[in-house]
Structures are given as C-alpha cells and as structure tokens.
Chains A and B, each alone.
Chain A
C-alpha cells in the first residue's frame, strides 16, 4: 500500500489515450450499467479516475481492462460521450506483450507467421476443404469448395476455430452459397478471419492481417468481402 501522498506532477505524462476523461461528471452511469462492476474492486468510473489522476501504469497492470469485454454499453450511456473503449483498449496496448493474458498474443504471432491463429499448415487445410467438399457433394450434387477462384463475386474468410475443431460448421455457409448459386471463393493462404490484434490492442499486427485480406481481394478481383465472424 502507498504510505506517501501521490505526487502527480512527478509522474510521467499520461499514456492512456482516452479522449476527454477530464470531462467526466463522475455520474457513474458507466459503472451502474456494467455487469462486471465490483470485480477486483474496480469499475469503469474508477478506471476513468485512474487515467485522469495519472495512475496509468496501475490501470495497465490491473486485470480490469481485460475483464471488461469492450462491449461499449458504458460508452453508449455516457452523457459526456467520453471515448471509454479507446481508453480501455489503449490500456491493453500498453501491456507488455508477454503479459497479455491467455493465448491471444500467441495467436497473433502465429497468424503473422503461418497465416492463421492456430497454425494449420496449408496442405492440411486444403486436404480438409477437399475432403469436406466431397462429403457435402453427396447431399448437394456438384458442390465443391472454391479456393483462390479469380473473379469470384465474394471473397470469404474463415474462422480458424472451424477447420481446427468444428469443421462441419463450415457446411452452413456452404449450403447457403450452393442454394443461392453464389460465386464465392476462399483462399489457400492467409484465410484467417479472426483478427486477435483487435483484442490485444495491437494495431500494427491488426493492420497486417487486414492488409493480407485486402491483397487477396484485389488480386482475385472480387466484388465483396465477407467476414462471417
């Protein structure tokens, strides 16, 4: 516990980018409507006070920015329109990468390296798509999974959870495309649609994953991009 008074002027400049926290009226609307108010003795109103008082590092080191699901109900209700999500996500950004909770940062690193969050090799992925395509064709005559089809109307990304653990859940969209006689395609590389940099506050990695998708979109000359997340 802190025994000496906190000397605010000696603390480094505020890191957290929450916009206009000094406008906070301390009304508590944010905290009052939040399901995790009270966890770790924290709530959104306290987080704003911390940012305002220069307790940036304390907030960054706390679990609260990660217990908060960035759902934006508080921000929607805030009478002063304070950018609360930006502040919380920015606290995540400032967390050292090896201290990001759970598998999220590992997934980001894996995605940058292999093109998907769980590291499924290209050959395995293509084998799986073909195998599942043959299975579905028994029910839907002529069905196949289009991969890297140039000129397809819709480019579709894949949630790596599905090829990894729930492959038959990909059938739902495939059946709809078949019924609609849609011209669509997935890609053989960098097909991941789940961008975990959004959650870890990692803008650079997030941009790179998006850049790869846009690159496919342009080179395959697709008209629409669909991220079924």
Chain B
C-alpha cells in the first residue's frame, strides 16, 4: 500500500482530523520520480493527484510547480545520488529544481520521499540561498496538522 493511499483513506473516512489553519503559508509540492513517472511506468499509476489533495487538506494556500507531475524535474539526488561521492554534480543537477521552487514563491515545500527531502532541505537550501524555505515530509505535514481526540480537544 502506498503512503498516499493510506493517508487518503484516513482523511476520507474521518479516521484522522486535520486543521489546515495551522499552515497558512504558501505551500508547494515536489513530485518524486519513484511515486510519479516510475510508478506510472511500473504499476500503471503515477501518484500525482493524491499527494496534492492530501497537502491541500493540511494547508490553506497551495501553489504548483511548473512543469509539474509527469514532467516535473528530479531533485538531483535520485538513483542513490544522495549516498554517492559526486556532491558537486548532485548540487549542479538540483539547480533546475531550485528555480522551479523559487518561481512558485512558496514558503514551504512538501516531499514524500526521504532522498528528495534531504537533498532539498539539507543541501539545496544552503547551496542556493533559500534557507527561509521550510521543507517537510508529506507525513510530517499530516502529523503537524492533526487534531487528536482526547489530546488536542
């Protein structure tokens, strides 16, 4: 089961409750290659719509990148590049992603992939002067938006 299917199921069936007023900032989404193009090619379904829907249940203002979905650019750390010694090339690769993100004007970026999140949060932000950008996992955003019965009420 994909993380997207599970989170969507929780939200749609009311098993979890979310408060989007916790995230008023303009937010964008990064399509990981594995959940998008490669999932589409391998399993016949690319996860493009589900994560965008989930994000929009957690934030008030959403903006997409250009290009998007199947035509979106890789963060630059795919294929194991995050764990390879070619840091200079990895950062150079990421310049395209950085431009896409900056062009949206978003203050927060959501990524449902460990590699993508680390590349953007721990490397590209520093290298390309965008430390003001907040980067979260998709499930981190959901966890931060939760209203838990008996705990928050």
| A positions within 8 Å CB-CB of B | 35-36, 39, 63, 66-73, 75-76, 85, 101-104, 107, 139-141, 154, 159, 161, 169, 171-173, 175-176, 178-182, 194, 196, 198-200, 224-226, 228-229
- Do B80 and A200 have beta carbons less than 8 Å apart? yes
Bound-state Cα–Cα, A68 to B73, Å: 13
* Residues of A contacting B83 in the complex (Cβ-Cβ under 8 angstroms): 102-104, 107, 196, 199
* Residues of B contacting A139 in the complex (Cβ-Cβ under 8 angstroms): 151
Closest A residue to B34 by CB, please name it: A229
Tell me how far the C-beta of A71 lies from the nearest C-beta in chain B, rounded to whole angstroms. 3
* Residues of A contacting B1 in the complex (Cβ-Cβ under 8 angstroms): 154, 224-226
* Residues of A contacting B63 in the complex (Cβ-Cβ under 8 angstroms): none
- Do B139 and A71 have beta carbons less than 8 Å apart? no
Interface centre among A68, A71, A229 (most CB of B within 10 A): A71
Q: Which stretch of B22-30, B88-96, B102-110, B126-134 is in the interface?
A: B88-96
Tell whether B44 is near chain A: CB-to-CB under 8 Å.
no
* Residues of A contacting B33 in the complex (Cβ-Cβ under 8 angstroms): 69-73
Tell whether B77 is near chain A: CB-to-CB under 8 Å.
yes
- Do B76 and A35 have beta carbons less than 8 Å apart? yes
Q: CB within 8 A of B146: which of A85, A175, A226?
A: A175
- Do A229 and B114 have beta carbons less than 8 Å apart? yes
* Residues of B contacting A66 in the complex (Cβ-Cβ under 8 angstroms): 79-81, 84, 86
- Do A71 and B78 have beta carbons less than 8 Å apart? yes
Bound-state Cα–Cα, A186 to B73, Å: 33
Bound-state Cα–Cα, A182 to B3, Å: 14
Bound-state Cα–Cα, A217 to B34, Å: 23
* Residues of B contacting A179 in the complex (Cβ-Cβ under 8 angstroms): 15-17, 146, 148-149
Can you add 15 more A-B contacts, CB < 8 Å, to A102-B83, A179-B149? Answer: A36-B92, A67-B89, A68-B79, A69-B78, A72-B37, A75-B37, A76-B71, A101-B84, A104-B84, A107-B83, A140-B148, A171-B143, A176-B7, A179-B15, A198-B80
- B1-32 CB contacts (< 8 Å) to partner A: 1, 3, 6-7, 10, 15-17
Interface string of B118-153 (1 = CB under 8 A from A): 000000000000000000010110111010111100
- Do B96 and A73 have beta carbons less than 8 Å apart? no
Bound-state Cα–Cα, A177 to B147, Å: 13
Bound-state Cα–Cα, A154 to B148, Å: 21
Closest A residue to B10 by CB, please name it: A180
- Do B74 and A69 have beta carbons less than 8 Å apart? yes
